[in-house]
Structure 1
Amino acid sequence: MKFIASLLFLLASLLFASATWWLQQPLALKTDTVELTVVPGMSARAVVQSLVQGGVEVDPQLLYWWIRLSGQARQIKAGSYEISRSPTPRTLLAKLVRGEVAQRSVTLVEGLTFTQWRELLGKADRLKSEIKDLSDSAIMEKLGRPGLSPEGRFFPTTYTYAKGSSDLALLRRALLEMDQRLAAAWAERAPDSPLKSPDEALVLASIVEKETGRPTDRAEISGVFNNRLRIGMRLQTDPSVIYGLGPKFDGNLRKRDLLADTPWNTYTRAGLPPTPIAMPGQDALLAAVQPAQTRALYFVSRGDGTSEFSATLEEHNRAVRKYQLGQR
């Protein structure tokens, strides 16, 4: 009896050692990356079959029983996975249990328009399109903001998403993020701000975003526009005129364009335009509500990305002659 017991113990030890060794051995893959989709309610056996069919070289019975004996068969999470770099049976199961689904990312850049964002989303890797055939207004209706222009309403940053996620879901995240960022910025507005609402702050922030060549100039540029709003002076900002021209703008802003009246022409109309003209980032939001304390009412590009600021029209005209016309 003692001999049989010792033999059984030895066999059990060998089996345990073999199992421990096998769990730590890298599994070969037929391709660099094996893709696996786990649908809700999928059994452990079906998961193993999908892995083998996808290109994981493993004995399916051995892997199945390891998953069963681990006690984690029902903890495998649904989602789209990418398996690479020769996982071991242990790390493979851990990945599925933790729900480490395949991630992609897309950077939605500040200063771009919603039309440009739609193009970026259309090119994003493995992002399912739900907005491709929708109008802008239909998109906003689906996002629960009917009647609201999408321009400026989404926060620009890099968003990660699971493979197979939708562009509409990503836009919903960006919309809520902008809601929070705008509310936080509005709560920190200067006491003497001429802006009457968060929406006005968003519009001004989009103009500041488009007018800024050098980041350190943002607050000063905002100071100019805040000063103009305070005294009822027209903003006369070229980016808003260009936005109003839409597809008709050919890249060259002419005098006739400045005279062509649209709701966004800040040369022909006083106050802020009716909507933002681009997606403003965090720094532009803060600059809009916390402008520099300045007497400047004018600024002109120096041609190197920086701006020259002036308090009087005479000073401004001299700056224009120097930096725009090349006259000394």
Structure 2
Amino acid sequence: MREIERAGISASKDGFTPQELLIIASLAEAEGGTGDYRKISQVVRNRIAINMPLQFDSTVHYIMESRGSIFLSTKSTLLKSPFNTYQNRGLPPTPINNPGFLAMQAAGNPAPGDWLYFITVAPGDTRFTESFSQFSEWKLIYKKNLREGKFK
């Protein structure tokens, strides 16, 4: 509990409980590198604000117990589980990992932005946008890089 308070997430200014902030922190840590935690935390808020499913691959990987995987099949997004953010709106019921201090800080202090989408197109290159068409273009780059073996 001390670590939560030290990270500044014992009380939320925007209506999230400490438990919800821990869940957001776990998602941020599972989805990106430390430099992206604050942006990912904002994407979570932006999607929840418009009742948009989070659609985070990391939650499906959690269900499948395949952490660290980057590939996600369409079939796996159909798995029945309260943790499946493709099938359920809002946050999963609990954290999907034990988030570190930086992720907890980011959950309580997200970066300002209108982003709804993000994708890692290559190792170390995660891009954020509010545009689905831009996201779709970047997804093609990701698929090309995946085919070329750039994700090792």
| Matched residue, 1:198 | 18
- Count of matched residue pairs: 142
Amino acid at match of 2:30: K
Shift of 1:296: 0.7
TM-score (normalised: structure 2) = 0.84
| 1:18-67, Cα deviation, whole Å (9 max, x unpaired) | xxxxxxxxxxxxxxxxxxxxxxxxxxxxxxxxxxxxxxxxxxxxxxxxxx
Q: 1:259 to 1:303 in 2, by over 3 A?
A: same
Shift of 1:187: 4.3
Q: Partners in 2 of 1:292 and 1:309 — Cα distance?
A: 12
Q: 1:188 to 1:263 in 2, by over 3 A?
A: closer
Q: Partners in 1 of 2:5 and 2:48 — Cα distance?
A: 21
Amino acid at match of 1:199: Q
Secondary structure (helix, strand or coil) at the match of 1:308 reads strand
| Matched residue, 1:183 | 5
Larger Rg: 1
Bigger relative contact order, structure 1 or 2 (CA pairs below 8 A, ≥6 apart): 2
Runs of 4+ in structure 1 deviating by more than 3 angstroms, as ranges, are: none
Where does structure 1 lack aligned partners over 5 or more consecutive residues?
1-178
What aligned pairs does 1:1-328 form with structure 2 within 5 A after superposition?
Answer: 179-184=1-6, 185-187=8-10, 189=12, 191=13, 193-195=14-16, 197-213=17-33, 215-246=34-65, 251=69, 252-325=71-144
Shift of 1:305: 2.2
Shift of 1:212: 1.4
| 1:105-126, Cα deviation, whole Å (9 max, x unpaired) | xxxxxxxxxxxxxxxxxxxxxx
Q: Partners in 1 of 2:135 and 2:37 — Cα distance?
A: 18
Percent identity at matched positions?
Answer: 33
Shift of 1:233: 1.0
Shift of 1:194: 4.8
Contact 1:298–1:312 (8 Å) recurs in 2: yes
Secondary structure (helix, strand or coil) at the match of 2:119 reads strand
Where does structure 2 lack aligned partners over 5 or more consecutive residues?
146-152
| Matched residue, 1:64 | none
Shift of 1:236: 0.6
Contact 2:9–2:107 (8 Å) recurs in 1: no
Contact 1:202–1:285 (8 Å) recurs in 2: yes
Secondary structure (helix, strand or coil) at the match of 1:186 reads coil
Q: Over the residues paired in the alignment, what is the CA RMSD in angstroms?
A: 1.9
Shift of 1:245: 2.2
Secondary structure (helix, strand or coil) at the match of 2:88 reads coil
Q: 1:230 to 1:317 in 2, by over 3 A?
A: same
